[in-house]
Amino acid sequence: MHKNEYLAKSNGETIIEHTQNLLDNLSILRSFYKDDLFVEEEILWNALFDVCRCHDLGKMGPKFQKKLHGPYDPSEIPHGVLSTAFIATKEWKNVYGKNLTIAMVHAIAYHHERKLEQFAQTDLKNEIELLKREIENFDFAALKLSQRNGVKAVSGRYFDLDDGRLLEEDNPEAFRYFVLLKGLLNRLDYAASGYYKVELANDFLSDSMAGLLKDWQKGNIGSNWNELQRYMLNHQEENVVVIAQTGMGKTEAGLLWLGNRKGFFTLPLKSAINAIYQRIITSIVKENQQTRVGMLHSDTYAHYLKGVEGHSFDWEVEEYFQRTKGLSMPLTICTLDQLFDFVFKYAGSEMKIATLSYSKVIIDEIQMYSSDLLSYLILGLRTIQSYGGKFAVLTATLPSFLLELMRKQGIEFTQPDHPFVDDSFVRHSLSICQEPINIKQIKEQYKENKILVICNTVRKAVEIFDQLSEHFGQDVHLLHSRFIKKDRAKKETAIFQMGQRTSSESGIWVTTQIVEASLDIDFDLLFTELSDLNGLFQRMGRCYRKRALSMSAYPNCYVYTGGDGVCSGVGPIIDPFIFELSKQALCQLGNGVLTESEKAELIGENYTSKKLKDSAYYENIVQNIAYMDALYDFEFEKKEVQQIFRNIQNITSIPKCVYEENHLIIEENKGILAKKINSKMTDSEKKELKRAKTNARTVLASYSVDLPLRELNEKQLERQMLNKYETLNILSCDYDERRGVQLKKYKEKDELTEVEIEDNFF
């Protein structure tokens, strides 16, 4: 074999070509973020350079080279481990010191996640003997490497297969270096393999925000940033926690704080992410959006496809999606699970921690998160701070116990001396209804206006919808989590359109909590079950969002407390202790006007550690933090983490009647997923099939719905194998576009209870 012909990829790319591509990406990373990354430890840039040069040298092993065009040999030592044989550890130790050298060696050995328990140090030494025959044919000079010392197993002081992975408890300093080096190596490697740039410059956002202000001033020459937005602009270099009422411009405030830095904007709901993303790319970042702004949640690809079909943007969806998944976008709007799952310390999580070490993270609507997600968030903010990243928490309401828990974890942040609220005009007047939610007052109040009804559970929402439909027919609409994605997307668009101030439409929308956060809608009247004070104030933000309430319109928010009992969802979804606390606070408050300051005071007075210490909600947060802190490094695998993090106890399926109505298109896309990539295909054909399979999954997903496992009986499911790895579930149930899924009941001893468990990201 001649020099330079050792392959790194099956497409014919050599080890040297791939490594040089990776080093080019390292230059990009350093040029953009040299002032934000490794600021006090510049030697790490040189360490990362050396790690990059050596990371794939083990691919010249004969077993790897044969595997590229033949069968896999299970006795093959992973190439990352073999690459350690090329390291001049004595030279590295002299330059970098022992701990950094340990981190560099481990970053190379484990840069791909492979189970190494089956291999022993003696296996590594045997395979290194095979490598010795190859090194004369490799052009080390092309990578500015010297191989005068040959290849040999590194000293056990730096790496030993029999000792296993480097753990934080064994060597905290080396582990921290390892996380940064391995995480960035992964980013660089994925970008080089995917042929996209590891980072794209944020050199536009400050100008885009200035442009937004000019647009406002065209309509009102006196327009300027408000007090909240000026505060965020003046504290760009600090971690901040800010309370600001709904409609105050928190999105703009967050973007002003971000400035021209790499950033992630997290929101609790996919529908909210879609709305904010759409708003940013149409009103703020108006050019080159596909290289500037991304969105990341479980339906990103489908949304990107829809965006291209619905607009004149000339976007290459596949490349855009890969850049977004690879965390390469300057600004990414995402769900918490796409970013903060690193708190589980799974192998591969280093990539996110390393990226966040030079990024800024905006956390919007923190009050929407469940107790388990809040514990992950607190630990995530602690990690981000420890690695050098920055965060801003922007929220309409903030329980004081959360601030106490953050401080206990050593999280440092700046807070303004007051919440940003505007009491100059009244937005909400309450009517406290000491009874279960019903349609009596809704019937009386509907006069071709816009009414929003929010229930705590899907079951209750459907019940109210059915009752109202008997009186008002097609004027009544329903939105909850049990519609197929295709129908739900239409409904989300419809409620958004009706909820605009400029819309002349009228009607009644019955919904669940999926409309609580960050949806810019404005209804005339709200009828809602009580969940807790936090949730209530979020729901009130969907009514009279940015307008003053005249006395003739009092009251505009009707809150049903359940009377002598409780509202739906209390117990399985809503903490009973917090529900009762909220109910008592409301009853003491009574009917009448509720100002923004009073809302903040109610949260501050009632959501303290002292008052909540006996609640399951508070106890879950405290116990979860303790449990997560006790986890061993690499104890979990990524797939397990995704299930735990999102509290996924759901199954994705297509209702049988939907399957039958769309049989031809579903079968066509099933056929695409059954196709296999084979060695006779060209690279272009392989790429096209991968694209077709991604599209096919998107099409099938559009007909599917996620349902709680505990509400299903195995007899209701028909499982169809699509290929070796994927299954399509067909669900025997009733379904229609107006009401969604209605499950059939089975009379058996173990009939499941009617408890509703939601995916944490609805």
Q: What CA–CA distance (Å, rounded) separates 527 from 436?
A: 11
Which of left, alpha, beta for 469 (phi over 0: left; psi -120 to 50: alpha)? alpha
Task: Please return the burial class of 94, using the count of CB atoms within 10 Å of its CB with bins 0-12, 13-18 and 19+.
Answer: exposed
Q: What CA–CA distance (Å, rounded) separates 12 from 223?
A: 58
CA 141 from centroid of its chain's CA atoms: 43
Lookup result for tokens 């933000």:
541
pLDDT of residue 648: 52
Would you place residue 2 in the very low, low, confident or very high pLDDT band (cuts 50, 70, 90)?
low
What are 270-302's pLDDT values in tens digits? 888 988 999 999 999 999 999 999 999 988 988
CA 492 from centroid of its chain's CA atoms: 20
pLDDT of residue 666: 96
Strands 507-511, 733-736: parallel, antiparallel or unpaired by DSSP? unpaired
Share of the chain above pLDDT 90, in %: 68
**Residue among 578, 362, 343, 339 at smallest CA distance from 456:** 578
pLDDT of residue 315: 60
Give first-to-last CA distance, the chain, whole Å: 55
pTM comes to 0.90
- As given in the structure block, the two tokens for residue 662 are 């769309």
**Residue among 227, 221, 257, 253 at smallest CA distance from 239:** 257
What are 441-489's pLDDT values in tens digits? 999 999 989 999 999 999 999 999 999 999 999 999 999 999 999 999 9
pLDDT of residue 516: 77
pLDDT of residue 4: 57
pLDDT of residue 748: 46
- As given in the structure block, the two tokens for residue 210 are 């200035």
DSSP H or E run through 272: helix 270-279
What are 609-660's pLDDT values in tens digits? 999 998 999 999 999 999 999 888 888 788 788 777 766 567 899 999 999 9
User: Where is mean pLDDT largest: 87-101, 103-117, 135-149, 540-554?
Assistant: 87-101
pLDDT of residue 566: 95
DSSP H or E run through 361: strand 360-364
Arithmetic mean of pLDDT, 530-558: 91
DSSP H or E run through 706: strand 705-708
Strands 717-721, 390-395: parallel, antiparallel or unpaired by DSSP? unpaired
SS3 label, residue 595: coil
Arithmetic mean of pLDDT, 294-311: 78
Contact 566, 576 (CB under 8 A): yes
Q: Which amino acid, residue 12?
A: G
As a three-state string, the secondary structure of 446-485 is CCCCEEEEECCCHHHHHHHHHHHHHHHHHHEEEECCCCCH
Q: What CA–CA distance (Å, rounded) separates 120 from 136?
A: 27
* Cα–Cα distance list, 48 to 23, 33, 271 (Å): 10, 14, 39
* Cα–Cα distance list, 465 to 470, 474, 497, 743 (Å): 9, 11, 20, 17
- As given in the structure block, the two tokens for residue 348 are 């591969």
**Residue among 43, 42, 192 at smallest CA distance from 111:** 192
Q: Which amino acid, residue 89?
A: T
What are 162-193's pLDDT values in tens digits? 788 899 999 999 999 999 999 999 999 999 99
Q: What CA–CA distance (Å, rounded) separates 104 from 88?
A: 11
pLDDT of residue 536: 95
What are 538-547's pLDDT values in tens digits? 999 999 988 8
Q: What CA–CA distance (Å, rounded) separates 267 from 761?
A: 9
Would you place residue 75 in the very low, low, confident or very high pLDDT band (cuts 50, 70, 90)?
confident
What are 653-696's pLDDT values in tens digits? 999 999 999 999 999 999 999 998 887 888 888 888 988 998 89
Give the phi and the psi of residue 433 in degrees, each rounded to 5. Answer: -105, 110
DSSP H or E run through 333: strand 331-334
Arithmetic mean of pLDDT, 239-256: 94
Residue with the larger pLDDT of the pair 311 and 35? 35
Q: Is the pLDDT of residue 98 over 80?
A: yes
Contact 199, 29 (CB under 8 A): yes
| Residues forming a β-bridge with 361 | 264, 391
Task: Please return the burial class of 2, using the count of CB atoms within 10 Å of its CB with bins 0-12, 13-18 and 19+.
Answer: exposed
pLDDT of residue 749: 39
Residues 6+ apart with CB under 8 A from 716: 731, 732, 733, 743, 744, 746
Lookup result for tokens 């040298």:
57
The whole-chain average pLDDT of the chain stands at: 90
Contact 457, 482 (CB under 8 A): no
Share of the chain above pLDDT 70, in %: 95
Contact 541, 246 (CB under 8 A): yes
Q: Using N-to-C axis directions, what is the helix angle for 43-54 and 89-96, rounded to 10°?
A: 160
Q: What CA–CA distance (Å, rounded) separates 67 from 76?
A: 9
Q: Is the pLDDT of residue 758 over 70?
A: no
Q: Using N-to-C axis directions, what is the helix angle for 89-96 and 98-109, rounded to 10°?
A: 130
Q: Which amino acid, residue 72?
A: Y
Arithmetic mean of pLDDT, 49-74: 92
Q: What CA–CA distance (Å, rounded) separates 200 from 522?
A: 36
What are 716-757's pLDDT values in tens digits? 889 998 888 888 999 999 999 999 999 876 544 343 333 343
Cα diameter, the chain:
90
**Residue among 467, 473, 522, 466 at smallest CA distance from 499:** 522
Arithmetic mean of pLDDT, 583-587: 96
Q: What CA–CA distance (Å, rounded) separates 416 from 419?
A: 7
**Residue among 515, 263, 517 at smallest CA distance from 395:** 517
Half-sphere exposure for 17 (CA within 13 Å, toward CB) = 14
